[in-house]
């Protein structure tokens, strides 16, 4: 009876290790890249911490950051203006870093092994192609998600120090340089980068070509979402007889005049009047039947709906890319 139960025990013991074995090999092979990634993580954290310390140590005469006597002309400290300048593009930097992770997965991690044929050694050691690819997806995805989550938290902590200051030159929450790096959408883009990198690698099996295709695909997605982000959630519509009152955190998507029938008018409709200072542009609006002002905005409360919808889109694209990568690998290698 023991001879019958021994194979079952061996099978159960080896099955959970089918992914852990390739993962250990992968970490050992690319430990230099892991150390480089850890160094970038530490550098990113250090920069934000240094800016916070610099701001805290700057001597500001007033509570609002005014360096001149309170009530005089406004002059912020150099530490704060420099921090605003650096942090205003932090979201773009994090987005580029996520893209580099995808390029690394597409290049040295997968395509180089397929190109050189070293993958056959792993497959000859009872590692199936599916488990081989799963390890090269799971390891970078897990490490990248943890690292990006830390960077998001640190970046938000850095931005928090700049809140509450009047006359701040920091770009608003919806700016393309800030929005991508402050929420879960960056995690979604990171997972998409890993998935697209794997798909490009198994498709072309050439290191440089797969890296180039990955960068092109991720750049297209990032630019497309950046340009159409305002459409991911319905805007709020406001109208009034006079100019519409806006809040400091409002993202104005559209604005103009309204007729009684609800037709929208824009400054282009009175372009000739606007270009000539001697013309009365209000007369043009009256002739066109304008009776009210309108604006379509995303208030600050739309931050999380926009983040979550964008995250959902990115995760769906990542899932499709992973599915396609496994299908391609199965078709080519069984």
Select from 223, 243, 39, 76 the least CA-distant residue to 162: 76
Q: What is the 3-state secondary structure (H, E, C) of 89-122?
A: CHHHHHHHHHHHHHHHHHHHHHHHHHHHCCHHHH
d(CA 263, CA 130): 57
- Helix, strand, coil distribution of the chain in percent, nearest 5: 70, 10, 25
User: Global pTM?
Assistant: 0.83
Tens of pLDDT, residue by residue over 323-333, are 999 999 888 76
pLDDT at 260: 86
Positions in the chain short of pLDDT 70: 1-31, 33, 58-76, 118-127, 164-169, 272-279, 333-334
Tens of pLDDT, residue by residue over 86-128, are 888 899 999 999 999 989 887 788 888 888 776 666 666 666 7
Phi, psi of 86 (to 5 degrees): -70, -45
Strands laid side by side in the 251-259 sheet: 236-240, 290-298, 251-259, 264-265
Q: Say if CB 51 and CB 88 are below 8 A apart.
A: no
pLDDT at 172: 86
Classified as helix, coil or strand, 312 is helix
Select from 290, 296, 236, 244 the least CA-distant residue to 265: 290
d(CA 76, CA 68): 8
pLDDT at 164: 59
The structure tokens 């499709």 sit at 320
d(CA 315, CA 191): 7
DSSP 105: I
pLDDT at 36: 77
pLDDT at 92: 93
Q: Say if CB 131 and CB 19 are below 8 A apart.
A: yes
pLDDT at 22: 61
């Amino acid at each position: 009876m023991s001879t019958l139960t021994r194979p079952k025990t061996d099978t159960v013991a080896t099955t959970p290790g089918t992914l852990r074995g390739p993962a250990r090999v992968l970490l050992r092979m690319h430990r230099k890249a892991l150390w480089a990634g850890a160094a970038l993580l530490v550098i990113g954290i250090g920069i934000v911490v240094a800016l916070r310390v610099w701001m805290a140590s700057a001597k500001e005469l007033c509570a609002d950051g005014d360096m001149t006597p309170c009530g005089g002309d406004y002059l912020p400290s150099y530490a704060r203006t420099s921090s605003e300048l650096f942090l205003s593009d932090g979201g773009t930097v994090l987005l580029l870093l996520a893209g580099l992770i995808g390029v690394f997965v597409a290049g040295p991690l997968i395509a180089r092994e397929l190109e050189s044929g070293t993958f056959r050694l792993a497959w000859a050691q009872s590692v199936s192609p599916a488990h081989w690819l799963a390890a090269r997806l799971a390891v970078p995805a897990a490490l990248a998600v943890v690292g990006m989550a830390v960077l998001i938290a640190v970046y938000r902590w850095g931005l928090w120090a700049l809140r509450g200051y009047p006359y701040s030159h920091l770009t608003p929450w919806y700016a393309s340089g800030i929005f991508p790096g402050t929420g879960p959408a960056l995690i979604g883009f990171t997972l998409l980068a890993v998935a697209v990198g794997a798909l490009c690698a198994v498709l072309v099996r050439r290191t440089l070509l797969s890296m180039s295709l990955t960068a092109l695909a991720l750049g297209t997605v990032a630019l497309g979402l950046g340009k159409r982000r305002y459409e991911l959630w319905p805007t709020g519509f406001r109208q009034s007889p006079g100019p519409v009152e806006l809040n400091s955190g409002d993202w104005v998507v559209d604005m103009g005049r309204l007729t009684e029938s609800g037709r929208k008018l824009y400054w282009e409709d009175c372009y000739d009047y606007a270009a000539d200072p001697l013309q009365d542009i209000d007369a043009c609006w009256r002739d066109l039947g304008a009776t009210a002002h309108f604006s379509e905005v995303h208030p600050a409360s739309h931050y999380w709906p926009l983040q979550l919808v964008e995250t959902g889109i990115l995760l769906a694209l990542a899932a499709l890319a992973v599915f396609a990568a496994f299908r391609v690998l199965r078709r080519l290698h069984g």
